Structure 1
Amino acid sequence: MYDIVIVGAGPAGSNLARLIGEKYKVLLIDKRDLENESSKNRINKCCGGLLAPDAQRMIAKLGLGVPKDILVDPQLFSVRTIDLTNNLERLYQRFYYNMDREKFDRWLVSILPTGIDKKFNSFFKSFAKIPGGYQIKYIYNGQEISARTRVIVGADGAISKLRKSMSKDINIPQRYISIQEWFECSSSMPYFTAIFDEEISDFYSWVIPKDNYLLLGSALRPRENTREKYDILKTKLTPLGFNFGNKIKTEGAFIYRPKKVSQFYIGRDGIALVGEAAGAISPSSAEGISYALKSSLYLAQSLDEGIDGFLDRYKQKIKDIKLNLIIKNLKSPAMYNPFLRQLAMKSGFQSIK
């Protein structure tokens, strides 16, 4: 019998477990093996691996410091913005920590309290209401295991099985497919590149240097010739000096893009959602780590006063996340409307040479 079962050991799930692990009996489940680096079950998160300023502030607020072995070269202080639709280009000063995302997740797991029961290589299967809480089922090393818990927390991202299982009537954010490929690259590129092209996507694409590799990614609408559009993107970028030579690997994932506050959903009864599973992710940049850390902090603070009434307290605390999502959506037209983006980039406002 557990007090709390957390499904997903990314930044949201691990941070929540760290904050409540001394007070509650916690089970943490993840399909990856985040303790054994030599594991054959290596499932990498499809992520650009950049810590944006909002995420940096949250890490500082949590009293944490990122170990230097998580960081990779180069550290990035500018964004090269390429508007293929309007044939424009600008450079803007921004500050990102460039990191190894898998090492980041492993680090968060490594600082968990020792009393937490961790089940990696595990797949959440189902839950059922029982007196006093829930019975969950999950697959661990090929074997189905049952456990009882008072509370379930979904920290399982944009394909959250918990969110989907709770109700089909829940307003789901718009879903995109993120495709990202890694290429060998010997030359240094000292900036993060953001690419806008309505022919490819109504969201955006990116190029990120990472040690001796170059990452090309794009957020694409599902079932709209996603692979073909990704290949067109590569073709368009080649004349601009990007060399996509020897490909090392391909990653993919679903990502949410919340367009309405109603799509940010934190749960019901004894089931809570945090991070992207709740719809907490930037609709303008798809940055999610800061939202994962903030929402899990708020849930931990709500649980600190006890399990009874914790969702009501959580609902009050996340009001600033809702406001932030509203502001991000108001900002989006300046980035994603071709005419407004053209005006902003032509003005040169806040750009650098």
Structure 2
Amino acid sequence: MPEGPYDVAIIGLGPAGATAARLLDSRLRVIAIDQKQAAGGFQKPCGGLLAPDAQKALARFDLTLPKEVLVDPQIFAVRTIDLKSGLTRHYQRMYLNLDRHRFDRWLRSLIPAGVRVEEGCVCRRVERTSGGFCVLYEKEGALREVTARYLVGADGAGSLVRRAFFPEVSIRRYVAIQQWFPDENPNPFYSCVFDPENTDCYSWSICKDGSFIFGGAYPARGCRARFERQKEKLAALGFQFGEPVKTEACLLLRPAGRRQFCTGRDGVFLAGEAAGFVSPSSLEGISSAILSGSRLARALNGDGDPVRAYARGCRALRRKLWLKLLKCPFLYDPGLRRLVMKSGLEAIGVERPEQARPTAGGR
């Protein structure tokens, strides 16, 4: 027999699901089912940089990051490389360099003890029942079933909940591939790479606690070959890769229009990347995940129709992400990007120490 009923079942405890679970009223009976484990387990390709929008989202809840989440070094400029034009520029950026798995675990630690959290689980099936929803998940090789009045899909790009209840919502998809290497680069740096021959999106690199990470978002067809070709190009520019320590890959969403955002209906809710709430220009999704999770909790805590309340609460977020679509041509159109980079607008000069020259007496 299924266990329950719960008031809310949350699938996924990334920033969206963890925020919703943390802010739901204690009068609600909540279960959260997550694939990650404390020791590591499931991890996704992510540069692990906390953008200003995400910092602001945390500040709205008076949350401060513990130092254990941060990693070295903290880098204050992005090296932007356009492989087609051969241009390189540096732009100031106020990102925080962090360990993404530790960050997610920290958000998980903020969830009240009254919420039942099931970790290391794989959700196998979600379906509607006469009284709400039934969730079938696997934990330690055993299948378990729970029922709930409301169902929340915070399960990322490949959301089982979205596929089960909103198959008509099609969102532009990429494959994110990322590799970790021992850091052999002489100076730590963060880079953003544009290479239209291999992807109409972008790639990234970052130094992190003695490791060098390189990753990118690629069209699914031939994604691994595109990734390797790009590494060859960057190696010719001086990137030090070496032998990879590990390789990660996952599905990544990049909305192309307002209709690709979906908050849910009929007792089913989508939050974070599952709802399509990802910046189409930068692929940043932590800020939108936190904000959508908080709006969802507010809607479920209220006395009115939570579906309508959640949709209203996400209007500003939808509008913000739609405006970022207008920014995309300046980043991704090769001609416009070349003009912007060639102009040097907002670029900063990076001064390297000159090598010491031997004096006459030092020969």
Shorter chain as normaliser: what TM range?
over 0.9
In 1: Cα distance, 2:179 partner to 2:173 partner: 20
1:274 aligns with 2:271: yes
Superposition deviation, residue 245 in structure 1: 1.1
In 1: Cα distance, 2:123 partner to 2:228 partner: 34
Q: How does 1:177-256 map to 2 (within 5 A)?
A: 177-187=175-185, 189-223=187-221, 225-256=222-253
In 1: Cα distance, 2:343 partner to 2:295 partner: 40
Superposition deviation, residue 190 in structure 1: 4.1
The answer for the alignment partner of 1:338 in structure 2 is 334
The answer for the alignment partner of 1:151 in structure 2 is 150
In 2: Cα distance, 1:143 partner to 1:316 partner: 39
Unaligned 5+ segments in structure 2 are: 350-363
Superposition deviation, residue 222 in structure 1: 0.4
The answer for the alignment partner of 1:47 in structure 2 is 46
Aligned pair count reads 345
In 2: Cα distance, 1:239 partner to 1:64 partner: 43
Q: Which stretch of the first structure deviates more once superposed, 287-296 or 185-194?
A: 185-194
Superposition deviation, residue 128 in structure 1: 2.6
The answer for the alignment partner of 1:9 in structure 2 is 13
In 2: Cα distance, 1:174 partner to 1:167 partner: 15
- Paired AA for residue 166 in structure 1: F
The answer for the alignment partner of 1:321 in structure 2 is 317
SS of aligned partner of 1:148: strand
Per-residue deviation, residues 61-106 of structure 1 (Å, max 9, x unmatched): 0111110111001112111000001110100001100000010111
In 2: Cα distance, 1:304 partner to 1:14 partner: 16
Unaligned 5+ segments in structure 1 are: none
Superposition deviation, residue 111 in structure 1: 1.6
Q: How does 1:15-164 map to 2 (within 5 A)?
A: 15-20=19-24, 22-34=26-38, 37=39, 42-164=41-163
Structure 1 segments (4+ residues) deviating >3 Å: 186-191
- Paired AA for residue 314 in structure 2: I
Between structure 1 and structure 2, the one with the greater Rg is 2
Instruction: Give TM-score, length-normalised by structure 1.
Output: 0.95
Superposition deviation, residue 187 in structure 1: 4.2
2:19·2:294 contact (CA, 8 Å) conserved in 1? yes
Superposition deviation, residue 192 in structure 1: 1.6
In 2: Cα distance, 1:176 partner to 1:62 partner: 32
Percent of aligned pairs with the same amino acid: 42
- Paired AA for residue 324 in structure 1: K
Superposition deviation, residue 33 in structure 1: 1.2
- Paired AA for residue 245 in structure 2: I
In 2: Cα distance, 1:62 partner to 1:176 partner: 32
In 2: Cα distance, 1:317 partner to 1:190 partner: 41
SS of aligned partner of 2:127: strand
1:174 aligns with 2:172: yes
In 2: Cα distance, 1:189 partner to 1:254 partner: 31
1:177·1:220 contact (CA, 8 Å) conserved in 2? yes
SS of aligned partner of 2:125: strand
Counterpart among 301, 318, 321 of residue 304 in structure 1: 301
Superposition deviation, residue 22 in structure 1: 2.1
Per-residue deviation, residues 125-165 of structure 1 (Å, max 9, x unmatched): 22232233112211122111111101000000000010001
In 2: Cα distance, 1:212 partner to 1:101 partner: 15
1:81·1:193 contact (CA, 8 Å) conserved in 2? yes
1:349 aligns with 2:345: yes
SS of aligned partner of 1:2: strand
2:45·2:215 contact (CA, 8 Å) conserved in 1? no
Superposition deviation, residue 23 in structure 1: 3.2
